[in-house]
Chains A and B, each alone.
Chain A
Amino acid sequence: MAGLVLDAITVPLRSFDLSLSLEVGSTTALVGPSGSGKTTVLRAIAGLVRPTGGRIACGDAVWFDAAAGVNAPPDRRRVGLVFQDYALFPHLTVRENIEFSRSEPADAYLARFRIDHLERARPGELSGGERQRVALARALARRPDVLLLDEPLSALDAHTRVGVRAELQGLLCELGLPVVLVSHDFDDAAALADQVGVIIDGQIRQTGTPSQLVAQPADPFVASFTGANLLRGNAEPAGELTRVRLDDGNSIVTVEEGRGPVVVAVYPWDVVVSASRPDDSAMNVIAGPVLSLVELGNRVRVTIGPIGADVTADSVARLHLRVGHLAFASFKATGTRLL
């Protein structure tokens, strides 16, 4: 597989400079809040934005090299770019869209993406999921050396999204192409990519596998992005453990070492919720009224004081959890990370 290498590319943006290096072998996701420069990375790779410095190469082909004055136009770079809004040509049929690159007849792609019956339709008549399949088919019919996906799931409603995510997962495995995708959603990125880079203000804060980012977030931002609860407080050693006095008066124990102002990260799936004070190995118990109950797919996020916990709907019913009623959130000292 010919890899994609971005070497110290710099793109000046309105309020900061995008500058990063990236090596893409299989599927890499760039996640970050909107305005962090994610899409600009894709546009720079595709040749739609010209960096002021650095080098972009795909396999043996050098697409951009500021020092050598190389800047291949977009049509000379073998990229398949799937735009966030898909950017299908509204005046052309599905077949004409897929055959626009004049590399291959559309038939194989129409069959592969199960859109044969739509070949004569125009994009305006398609649903969100169908548009995405046409956009993917069009990008792949170009026979690209690298596939770029801009927020591949954001234009879809929650219902379609789950199915499309699974389909996309299968497709990316099959392709064996280097893929760069950008997303503002860590869960989507974790589902689709083996490498995830968290990007903020144009800089990559941390790169790793999704589980590495969850297990060892480099800073509070990465932790919150991966879904952790962040508790601020003051740490002081307590025997072999560390005690953290939280700003809200609660106090928790962690196995990590630290001193002074710290942030404790606790993941919602590591928190146990109970209706009465628990009596088990969890050293940390926070008591308080339930502030909110929010359904997230097949889970319910229960907020108790500063802690969000993910439990099943069945548990909510069994424990008779209601907003305003007293509940207890407990988690083990080993389930915490000090940042």
Chain B
Amino acid sequence: MKRAVIRVVYLAAALLALIFLLLPIVAIFVHTSPGHLFDQLSNPVVRDAFVVSIKTSVLAQVLILLFGTPTAYLLATRRFPGHSAAVTLVELPLVLPPAVAGVGLLVAFGRVGLLGSSFDALGFSLPFTQSAVTVAVAYVASPLYIRQAIAAFEATDPNLAAASRTLGAGPARTFFRVVLPLARGGLIAGLALSFARGLGEFGATIMFAGSLQKVTQTLPLAIYAEFDQDFNATLAMSGVLVLVSAVLLLTLRIGLVWQGSSSTRSRSPFGLSISA
């Protein structure tokens, strides 16, 4: 009897939680039909915001990948004085309120900021440009990739890298032929998370880059700007972001399954072959 009650309570709580998570998504699509969504793509505000978002996000993720991967590998494989401080630092943007990150970026790279005068001397100014959007996104989203990448590198058997070295491969060949293919699933999962976070970036971007249509106005900024102007456009842009998020979530799951299967056994999910 008592057990049955507890089971019902668990079930009800889980059901409520899942409905709570799903309801807003359903509501967006109840208000925007697919046809309406496509119509809105001809709306210049929506189109411009979409282009700005994709350009800055892709660029930011490329930067995160290029700088974050070696950073994560170093933190995963080496122990040095200040190691845990470095790991904590990498995670800092995760807990920092985005608006504060934006203010920080402004006083670091702005005209009156720490590095502003050196930038001025070189003849360029970062704040309120499209590059500023990329910088804000990279700053806020990077921990999600780096954390996942550290975990992925730590999960690869160090004996495999050692075996590669004894077989005559230098550090670079060992990294690209052994470590990277084995960590790939985790890296993809991390990138999906980071991409999702970057795409939704709002606080740091508006502080550091402003919200100028065609230049710095990303989808979330445009959603906010159109909120009391054109609610249909707001809904359409929200729909677009939901769809992109769904794809990213799927990528994340596939990446994690992949990582789990490649660390010891070589079978990849869905019968895909994973040769380097």
Contact = CB atoms under 8 A, between A and B. Distances in A.
Whether A associates with B in a native complex is yes
Interface of A: 43, 46-48, 73-75, 77, 79-81, 83, 85, 87-93, 96, 100-103, 122-125, 138-139, 142
Nearest to B276: A91
Contacts of B159: 83, 85, 87
B265 to A, nearest CB: 4
Closest 3 pairs (CB-CB, A-B): A74-B165, A122-B266, A124-B265
B163 A83 contact: yes
Contacts of B157: 87
B97 to A, nearest CB: 41
B164 A81 contact: no
Interface residues of B, number: 25
Contact of B264 (A80, A90, A102): A90
B178 A74 contact: no
Contacts of B167: 75, 100-101, 138-139, 142
B168 A75 contact: yes
Contact of A90 (B165, B169, B265): B265
Contacts, number: 80
A44 to B, nearest CB: 12
Contacts of A85: 159
Nearest to A125: B266
B274 interface: yes
Contacts of A88: 163
A139 B163 CA distance: 9
A57 B262 CA distance: 37
B166 interface: yes
Given A89-B178, A122-B267, 20 more contacts: A48-B166, A73-B165, A75-B165, A75-B170, A77-B166, A80-B166, A83-B159, A87-B160, A88-B163, A90-B160, A90-B265, A91-B266, A91-B274, A92-B275, A93-B275, A96-B275, A101-B167, A101-B168, A139-B166, A142-B168
Given A87-B159, A90-B266, A124-B264, A74 B276 contact: no
B181 interface: yes
